[in-house]
Homo-oligomer: A and B are copies of this chain.
């Protein structure tokens, strides 16, 4: 059981920011990544469709014998986590939303927090609930920024246009509230971090859920006695995509450090 891989899934390549943090924090754990490239993005779809797609992705990873599932997609974490835990009980399942909320609460002094995310995540209100359960009285402003996903997927991470789009979304928000934390509530957004930090200005700290998710996974592995034995070499990372494996590999290179870039991506059907 302890030798089995941890399954990680996302609508596409955004979740690779979480994969990279997991591999860095837990180099002895084998990882199995599934990107649902055929049906991305999830963030502008209905709850019913997001839940259905998440169940199908989880089923494939479970059929490969994983010991734990990480939902490395904020939209799926916001809309499908309860349903996945019910459907695949007792498999341990970690989402990125609660770790993101934890990171936000640790970073804020004022308790005024801005969350940027997809339309579906914002509509669901899940970040607001998760943060307020940790810090009652926190003021949360959640802002849908759907174009950021397209920019990240296209590899437009900085420059005048990305900055102008970030200003269009964020300047009205920052002028309305004096916040000190900006939560990147979508796993695509960390690749835009430099631009977002520039638009946010020096008084606002950017927070994403990648490292706190890796921390939550590490703690759960120990608690459930599921951690892999240390070994001389880092464990394997295997990549699967529901479409266009060569495109997956190309886009993944923008999200991953050199040593993790996929030289092979398995095409699967959901």
User: CB of A150 within 8 A of chain B?
Assistant: yes
Query: Please, which residues of chain B bring their CB within 8 A of the CB of A39?
Result: 38-39
Residue in B38, B45, B149, B150 whose CB lies within 8 Å of A243: B45
Residues of A230-251 whose CB lies within 8 A of B: 243-244, 247
Q: Which residue of B lies closest to A242 (CB)?
A: B49
- Bound together, the chains give a CA A160 to CA B153 distance in angstroms of 22
Contact B146 A150 (CB under 8 A): yes
Write out the residue numbers on chain B whose beta carbons fall within 8 Å of the beta carbon of A38.
39, 45, 49
Interface size on A, residues (CB 8 A): 23
Count of this chain's copies in the oligomeric assembly: 2
Q: List 17 A-B contacts (CB under 8 A).
A: A37-B45, A38-B45, A44-B153, A44-B247, A45-B243, A46-B247, A49-B243, A146-B154, A147-B147, A147-B150, A147-B151, A149-B150, A150-B150, A160-B164, A161-B165, A161-B168, A164-B164
Q: CB of A156 within 8 A of chain B?
A: yes
Please report the C-alpha to C-alpha distance between residue A247 and residue B168 in the assembled complex, in whole angstroms. Answer: 22
Cα-based distance from A147 to B46 in the complex (angstroms): 22
Contact residues in B for A150 (Cβ distance below 8 Å) = 146-147, 149-150
A147 to B244, CA, bound (A): 19
Contact of A147 among B37, B156, B164 (CB under 8 A): B156
Scoring A residues 133 to 159 as 1 if CB is less than 8 Å from chain B, else 0, what string do you get? 000000000000011011101101000
Asked if B147 contacts A154 (CB within 8 A), the reply is: yes
Beta-carbon contacts under 8 Å, A4-48 to B: 37-39, 44-46
Output the residue of A37, A146, A151, A161 with the most chain B CB within 10 A.
Answer: A161
Q: A147-B150, A147-B154, A147-B156 are in contact. List 8 more A-B contacts (CB 8 A).
A: A37-B45, A39-B39, A49-B243, A146-B154, A149-B150, A160-B164, A161-B164, A164-B164
